[in-house]
A and B are shown apart, each in its own frame.
Chain A
Amino acid sequence: MLNFFQLIIIYAGIYALMAIGQNCITGNTGMLSLCHAGFFCIGSYATGIICKILGLSFWISLPVAALCSAVVGFLIGVPTLRLKGDYLCIATLGLGEIIRNIATNMNPVGMMSIPRAELFGYQFSSRNKVTFIILVWAFVLVAYFIFRQLAHSRIGRAMTAVREDEVAAQSNGINVATYKIGAFTLGAAIGGTAGCFATAYTLTVQPSSYTFMVSVMVLCMVVLGGMGNLKGVIVGAFIIEFIQYFPQLVGLSSVIPAQATQIIYGLCLVILMIWRPQGILGRDKYRYGDPRSTKEKFISYFKREGKKGGKV
């Protein structure tokens, strides 16, 4: 049971990375994209190729996977600048499917027996989940702080401006194209990193794992957690993964029919959405130039939490 809970935490960490990337594209910049499975796929393959075929270390594959995905993200970002809303969504969905289709046609079996990640002679094995949790969540934290700083910087504000009103942003001297492509590149890079960790954990790469449902789930995590709210998307990732694996965690999956677990999952999605359409944590409440000191903000944060607890 504890072991399985650790597994959920690992998966949640991997998906939290993806959700952070998706949040950069959808939450911050307001572009509806559905190709995170594609970035995930490219990151996984890059890791597989580097670790298995080239025999290099996992630590080299990590930046390379991010870079490969970033390049693809850039290539996707440029032509799709012209598209908006649902058209962008479908174009990116198409790209995700193209990536999977080509990967399947290259080799439907994928790769197996990929060497493990190593640090100073220590192997991150799937038996020692705690170290793997530390590895993954360390990166989630790093990504969190990078993206939080980014969101609160000039770049982040420009992205928000693009999200809220493109024309207004443009007339204020913001280069919309740069920020849109930048958001795609960054989001893709972090998605590739997630693929890298997934490969390091499962030690296999299989094209059948990167269906568009993965992209949809990642988008769900962002919407569920609260768009643009980094803490929210991490919570969203955890909740989605938890609901998904909850029946297996408590040993329910072998008792009730397999379809029932999926139905419960669907029900949870509908109920959660109706319950909190703005997401669990809602949009990021950060106000620009908040005059309060850190201490005051800290206190008010907990006060607010306390109120919420009372309400439910």
Chain B
Amino acid sequence: MKKILAIALVAFIAVFSVFAGGASEEAPSTLKIGFIGPLTGDNANYGIRCSNAARLAINEINAAGGVNGMQLELIAEDSQGSVDRAISSYEKLAYTDNVVAIIGPVFTSPALAVAQRCFEDGVVMISPSATHKDVTALGDWVYRTVPSDSLQSEVAAHYFYEVLGYRNIACLYAMNDYSQGLAEGVEDTFTSLGGTITSMQTCMVGDRDFRTQLGEIRATNPEAIYIPNYTVEDAQILEQASQLGMNIPFLSSDGFSDPEIYNLAGDFTDGVIYVGPAQAEASTILVDFQAAYSEAYNGDAPDSFATNSYDATYILRDALTRVFENGGDLADIDAFRASVNDEVKATDDFEGANGIINFAANGDMVASQGVYDVEGTTPVYVGSFQVVDNHIVQVD
């Protein structure tokens, strides 16, 4: 028994080594783009959607002839949401695969660790969903196609206060970088406008019981509750609030753009207002993308982070095209990566699925924010907004 097991184990490793040996002999005619995100574990859904969207974009680009006659290849690595794995994924992509740029990491914590390495080694990184303000604090090399949480929360707080006219709201947020950043951003802006946050309730990611927090919030009698969390938490909060007989409007963030919420809590989403990515009105890119995505992935619908990932891939495509036009040479990978950085930075009015995208000097996305009003289980686009001179302005 033991012998057989031992032999099986050895054979197992041997077979995989051969398999891998075959896989590592790539034709030199591909341009490799790395992806880092959680593909297993609790939040794998976000990573898988983002990598699917990037892969979809790359397939489209390849079908259209690639870049400079070269095919693109996406190499997706699993970060499992942990720093160790994110770093090891980065090392694999940057040194073993010699990628030209990286899309991801999806979450802030690994993004902070990887951003530092990208900055030191000179690799472009475009995160589709790491919202924390510190991600782009290092400056060069690090970009994102998602608004920083300070930008989103500023628009959100102004919208709640000025347009919706709320004066007392409560927050229920998870203790993670994303939700905390948004909740505290809204708290700051909302209070500075003269509103009151009646209660700031916290939970942990992965919690499934929010009835205590909702009870505490109910006791402070707010006009609305702001829930900037991941999909599953938001779905639980909506349902449990209804079970407790609470009839209070809910406000949310771009985490709510995940259509999964309507499967999980479709009966309770009516009337939720959330701030998400802006949409370019005249363009059909978003609609086309959504259709292509659900066709390619068994009817699954993309969330806003997947859309960001799609945009990031096209931004990279444009940047790579320009690098080749300026005589970029893959033989010197460091110089090539540096020119990719220059070209990504030079992105000018890129028209993506999420409207017109530009990068600020620190690599943050500059864009207006969209507001959505959910009717039943369909989000209705209200318009895109910006905060100008401490007042909210509708852009279109």
| A contact residues vs B (CB 8 Å cutoff) | 1, 3-4, 7, 11, 101, 104-105, 108-110, 112-113, 125-127, 198, 201-204, 206, 208-209, 245-255, 257-259, 261-262, 268, 271-272, 274-276, 312
Contact A251 B134 (CB under 8 A): no
A interface footprint on B164-177 (CB within 8 Å = 1, 0 otherwise): 00000000000111
Tell me, rounded to whole Å, the shortest Cβ–Cβ distance linking A238 to chain B.
15
Contact A248 B88 (CB under 8 A): yes
Contact B24 A109 (CB under 8 A): no
How many angstroms between the C-alpha atoms of A311 and B2 in the bound complex?
A: 11
Contact B88 A11 (CB under 8 A): yes
Tell me, rounded to whole Å, the shortest Cβ–Cβ distance linking B129 to chain A.
15
Chain B residue with Cβ nearest A1? B96
Q: Which 3 A-B pairs have the closest CB atoms?
A: A250-B20, A258-B39, A258-B78
How many angstroms between the C-alpha atoms of A101 and B138 in the bound complex?
A: 28
Contact A251 B23 (CB under 8 A): yes
Chain B residue with Cβ nearest A106? B175
Residues of A within 8 A of B2 (CB): 274-276
Which residues of B, 348-387, contact A by the 8 Å Cβ criterion? none
Tell me, rounded to whole Å, the shortest Cβ–Cβ distance linking B216 to chain A.
16
Residues of B within 8 A of A113 (CB): 116, 138
Contact A254 B116 (CB under 8 A): no
Query: Which of B106-114, B222-230, B267-275 faces chain A?
Result: B106-114
Chain B residue with Cβ nearest A257? B39
Residues of B within 8 A of A104 (CB): 175, 204
Given the known inter-chain contacts A108-B177, A112-B112, A254-B77, please indicate yes or no for A275 contacting B89, CB distance below 8 A: no
Contact of A203 among B20, B116, B132 (CB under 8 A): B116
Contact B6 A275 (CB under 8 A): yes
A interface footprint on B260-292 (CB within 8 Å = 1, 0 otherwise): 000000000000000000000000000000000
Which residues of B, 40-99, contact A by the 8 Å Cβ criterion? 40, 44, 75-78, 81-84, 87-89, 91-92, 95-97
Given the known inter-chain contacts A4-B91, A262-B40, please indicate yes or no for A248 contacting B77, CB distance below 8 A: yes
Chain A residue with Cβ nearest B116? A203
How many angstroms between the C-alpha atoms of A151 and B19 in the bound complex?
A: 44
How many angstroms between the C-alpha atoms of A71 and B96 in the bound complex?
A: 42
How many angstroms between the C-alpha atoms of A11 and B82 in the bound complex?
A: 14
Contact of B96 among A3, A202, A276 (CB under 8 A): A3
How many angstroms between the C-alpha atoms of A247 and B20 in the bound complex?
A: 9
Contact A250 B77 (CB under 8 A): no
Interchain residue pairs with CB less than 8 A apart (13)? A108-B177, A110-B109, A112-B112, A127-B120, A202-B113, A206-B113, A208-B82, A248-B77, A254-B76, A255-B23, A258-B40, A259-B39, A275-B6
Residues of A within 8 A of B175 (CB): 104-105, 108
Residues of B within 8 A of A276 (CB): 2
Contact of A202 among B13, B87, B204 (CB under 8 A): B87
Tell me, rounded to whole Å, the shortest Cβ–Cβ distance linking B26 to chain A.
9
Chain A residue with Cβ nearest B13? A246
Contact B40 A252 (CB under 8 A): no
Q: With A109-B134, A202-B84 given, name 12 new contacts (CB 8 A).
A: A4-B91, A104-B175, A104-B204, A203-B116, A206-B112, A209-B84, A245-B88, A251-B96, A254-B76, A255-B20, A261-B78, A274-B1
Chain B residue with Cβ nearest A259? B40
Residues of B within 8 A of A274 (CB): 1-2, 5
Given the known inter-chain contacts A109-B132, A112-B134, A275-B9, please indicate yes or no for A248 contacting B82, CB distance below 8 A: no
Contact A109 B96 (CB under 8 A): no
Query: Does B121 belong to the interface (CB within 8 Å)?
Result: yes
A interface footprint on B1-27 (CB within 8 Å = 1, 0 otherwise): 111011011000100110111011000
Chain A residue with Cβ nearest B94? A3
How many angstroms between the C-alpha atoms of A245 and B40 in the bound complex?
A: 15
Given the known inter-chain contacts A203-B116, A253-B77, A275-B2, please indicate yes or no for A108 contacting B95, CB distance below 8 A: no
Given the known inter-chain contacts A108-B177, A127-B120, A252-B16, please indicate yes or no for A206 contacting B204, CB distance below 8 A: no
Contact of B92 among A253, A257, A262 (CB under 8 A): A253
Residues of B within 8 A of A127 (CB): 120-121
Query: Does B180 belong to the interface (CB within 8 Å)?
Result: yes
Residues of B within 8 A of A249 (CB): 92
Residues of B within 8 A of A11 (CB): 84, 88
Contact B113 A7 (CB under 8 A): no
Residues of B within 8 A of A109 (CB): 108-109, 112, 132, 134, 177, 180
Query: Does B202 belong to the interface (CB within 8 Å)?
Result: yes
Contact B180 A252 (CB under 8 A): no
Q: Most chain-A CB neighbours within 10 Å: which of B8, B77, B83, B202?
A: B83
Residues of A within 8 A of B202 (CB): 105
Chain B residue with Cβ nearest A275? B5
Residues of B within 8 A of A1 (CB): 24, 96
Given the known inter-chain contacts A252-B20, A275-B6, A312-B6, please indicate yes or no for A108 contacting B180, CB distance below 8 A: yes
Contact B17 A250 (CB under 8 A): yes
Tell me, rounded to whole Å, the shortest Cβ–Cβ distance linking B191 to chain A.
21
How many angstroms between the C-alpha atoms of A4 and B88 in the bound complex?
A: 8
Residues of A within 8 A of B77 (CB): 248, 253-254
Contact B91 A204 (CB under 8 A): no
How many angstroms between the C-alpha atoms of A7 and B97 in the bound complex?
A: 15
Residues of A within 8 A of B82 (CB): 208-209
Contact of B24 among A105, A209, A251 (CB under 8 A): A251
Chain A residue with Cβ nearest B34? A254
Given the known inter-chain contacts A104-B175, A250-B21, please indicate yes or no for A126 contacting B88, CB distance below 8 A: no
How many angstroms between the C-alpha atoms of A1 and B95 in the bound complex?
A: 8
Which residues of B, 87-146, contact A by the 8 Å Cβ criterion? 87-89, 91-92, 95-97, 108-109, 112-113, 115-117, 120-121, 132, 134, 138
Contact B113 A250 (CB under 8 A): no
How many angstroms between the C-alpha atoms of A248 and B80 in the bound complex?
A: 13
How many angstroms between the C-alpha atoms of A108 and B44 in the bound complex?
A: 19
Residues of A within 8 A of B96 (CB): 1, 3-4, 251
Tell me, rounded to whole Å, the shortest Cβ–Cβ distance linking B178 to chain A.
9
Residues of A within 8 A of B92 (CB): 4, 248-249, 251, 253
Which residues of B, 171-227, contact A by the 8 Å Cβ criterion? 175-177, 180, 202, 204
Contact B204 A204 (CB under 8 A): no
How many angstroms between the C-alpha atoms of A250 and B180 in the bound complex?
A: 38
Tell me, rounded to whole Å, the shortest Cβ–Cβ distance linking B135 to chain A.
9
Tell me, rounded to whole Å, the shortest Cβ–Cβ distance linking A91 to chain B.
21
Residues of A within 8 A of B115 (CB): 112
Chain B residue with Cβ nearest A110? B109
